[in-house]
Amino acid sequence: MLNYIWISLVALGILAALGGDLRDELTDPYRNGLSLDATLESSESSIPLRSAQNGFLVLSSAQYAAFYGLPSPGTAIRQPVNIQRSASGATTLLLLIDESSPLRWREMARASAEKGRLAGTLSSAPVQTEGSSAPVRVSFEPVHFVRLKAVTAAAVDYASTAVSISLGLIGVMALWLGVMSVAEAAGILGIITRVLRPLTRLLFPEIPADHPAVGAMIMNIGANMLGLSNAATPLGIKAMEELNKLNPRLGTATNAMVTFLAINTGGLILIPATAIAVRAAAGSANPGIIIGTSIAGAGCATVAGVLASKLLQRLRPYRMPSEDRHG
Amino acid sequence: MAELFRALLNVIAVVAIPLVLVIFLGWGIVRRVKVYEVFVEGAKEGFATAIRIIPYLVAMLVAIGIFRASGALDLLTSLVSPVTSALGMPPETLPMALMRPLSGSGSLGIMTELMKVHGPDSLIGVMASTMYGSSETTFYVLAVYFGAVGIKNTRHALPVGIIADIAGMLAAVWIVNFLFR
């Protein structure tokens, strides 16, 4: 199953990117090779003067909308640019794209040779006019295969993200594995396990009642419910390692592991702190209003997950390979 | 009442880890455990475990990264939206429901964007944040936890995770529609 989902994500992503890029080649949303009428303003002195200076590319929202065939952004565009004149007299504009730049330019900058920069050339050198602004015609660097380039970049970026996430785990992993060793040696895990035995025997009938895996799983679920994700992940991994000691077929998931992960992916949490923080930042009158609804939602997810794990483990395609011999 | 519950839980979340450390290590001393030696012996495993996760997480995150960057989510959204709209899910929140099991940062971005556009207290804003709180990043959890013990044959784990996610999203839609519509 994981094999198919995994290859589907990759294949669907690449096909969607290819399809989108081919559509762009036909409809040309970036107006490759065409010239846009705008006004160039210099922040320093009259135009053109020095070999390199800063300024603004100014155009009305109607000009922008008509050129790209987009709905009008509402306000006039005043885009910071870096103006460069070569010895041969050609003038290049380097648009410094940021969050406030128009949407289409941000998309184009993402695919441009230099990230966050969009280069344009002036079709004609601006004539000297009164003051520090001049009408210009700009054609931007051609943009092709935006999505395929983004897919390539994402593959590389996410590979290194995965490594930095894993390396970032080393410290907390070591801390919690150390604490759990002490807890085990001191008999604390045994106490926790005994208290919750009726519940855990129901959920994990295969696990011996006083096995350290139970204590680690309970600590992990507790940390998750309190939103202590820094502690929850190492405790969950510790629980998986303990469960794996009972695994007759290394490399294959056991029933108890899947039930444990069902509880984990249900994501039951008493205070959904991230969602509340985002709501508060967005100016909500009552950011905490989602506590009850989230607990209800996550509770349903957890119950459904546990029930599904209990049902699916009996189905033939998902059976433990060693169980098949018994029929 | 709800305020008191929240305040209480906030206090617990702050003191939980210091308290656990003190009780566990203190109990160890009482039981004459050589706490320092035992701690170090256990902590030694941290490095190897974290390193073991790397190939699993790389495989998972690269696939998710490709999917996210390609714009395939829009495609999937238009494919699934007739069904989910019939179930009462506003089409704007569908990308949120689809992204939630795949990527924590991705769904956080979608939630923030929805609140910016529709307002945090609108039906869409409340539903998006409930969806965010109603599930975990299933694919990440599977990659990390199975990676740590070298499980390659995950059996029914992924279908179970997806069933849990669907149940969480549908429950979020239903309860938000019931309480806030």
Instruction: Give tens-digit pLDDT for A43-79.
Output: 665 555 556 778 888 888 888 888 888 888 778 888 8
pLDDT at A129: 53
A275 chain-B contacts, CB cut-off 8 A: 111, 129-130, 132-133
**pLDDT tier for residue A325 given thresholds of 50, 70 and 90:** very low
Q: Does A131 touch chain B (CB under 8 A)?
A: no
Provide the domain count of chain A. Answer: 2
Helical H segments across chain A, by residue range: 2-27, 61-68, 103-111, 146-186, 188-195, 197-203, 212-225, 229-245, 255-266, 273-281, 290-312
Q: Report the amino acid identity of residue A260.
A: F
- Look at residue B1 in the predicted model and tell me its pLDDT: 65
Q: What is the pLDDT of residue A125?
A: 63
| N-term to C-term CA, chain B | 23
pLDDT attached to residue B114: 93
Specify the pLDDT at position A196. Answer: 86
Of the residues A89, A110, A142, which one is the last residue of a structural domain? A142
**Residue A174 placed within a domain:** no
CA B58 to chain centre: 18
Measured between CB atoms, which of A173, A237, A315 is closest to B145? A237
Residues 97-126 of B with CB under 8 A from A: 101-102, 108, 111-112, 115-116, 119-121, 125-126
Q: How confident is the model at residue B141 (pLDDT cuts 50, 70, 90)?
A: very high
**Over the stretch B47-80, which tens digit does the pLDDT of each residue have?**
998 999 999 999 999 999 999 999 899 889 999 9
What is the residue range of A308's domain? 187-326
**Shared domain check, A193 and A285:** yes
Query: Would you call B130 an interface residue with chain A, using a CB distance cutoff of 8 Å?
Result: yes
Could you read off the pLDDT of A279-320 as tens digits, one per residue?
999 999 988 889 899 999 999 999 999 999 999 999 988 888
Cross-chain CB nearest to A5 (options B62, B119, B158) = B158
- Going by pLDDT thresholds of 50, 70 and 90, the confidence category of residue A162 is very high
Residue B44 has pLDDT above 60, yes or no: yes
Which stretch of DSSP H or E encloses residue A39?
strand A36-42
Would you say residue A321 has pLDDT above 60? Answer: yes
pTM: 0.85
A252–B120 C-beta distance less than 8 A = no
A304: Cβ contacts below 8 Å, ≥ 6 apart: A266, B163, B164, B166, B167, B168
Question: How many alpha carbons fall within 13 Å on the CB side of residue A19?
Answer: 11
pLDDT at B115: 93
List C-alpha distances in Å: A274 to A101, A265, A271: 28, 17, 9
d(C-alpha A79, C-alpha A96), whole Å:
8
Chosen from A9, A24, A228, A315 to mutate, greatest number of chain B CBs within 10 A = A9
Residue A249 lies in a domain: yes
Contact (CB<8Å) B61/A250: no
pLDDT of residue B17: 85
The residue out of A107, A142, A177 marking a domain boundary is A142
The answer on A128 and A209 residing in a single domain is no
The verdict on a CB contact (< 8 Å) between B25 and A182 is: yes
Domain borders along chain B are 1-43, 46-180
Residue A112 to residue A106: CA distance in whole angstroms: 10
A253 vs B51, B151, B169: nearest CB? B151
A87 touches chain B (CB under 8 A): no
Weakest-pLDDT range from A80-89, A209-218, A258-267, A318-327: A318-327
A62 and chain B: CB distance < 8 Å anywhere?
no
ipTM strictly over 0.95?
no
Asked if the C-beta of B36 comes within 8 angstroms of chain A's C-beta atoms, the answer is no
Determine the pLDDT at residue A326: 45
Q: Is residue A9 part of a domain?
A: no
Tell me the pLDDT tens digit for each residue of A24-42: 999 998 888 888 888 888 7
Contact across the interface for A265 and B164, Cβ inside 8 Å: yes
Measured CA to CA, the distance from residue B144 to residue B60 in angstroms comes to 9
> How many A/B residue pairs have CB atoms within 8 Å?
384
The answer to whether residue A24 is domain-embedded is no
B101/A265 touch (CB, cutoff 8 Å), yes or no: yes
pLDDT digits (tens, 9 = 90+) for A124-149: 666 555 567 788 888 888 888 989 99
pLDDT reported for residue B59: 94
Q: What's the CA gap between B31 and B46, in Å, rounded? A: 25
Of A142, A169, A196, which residue is a domain's last?
A142
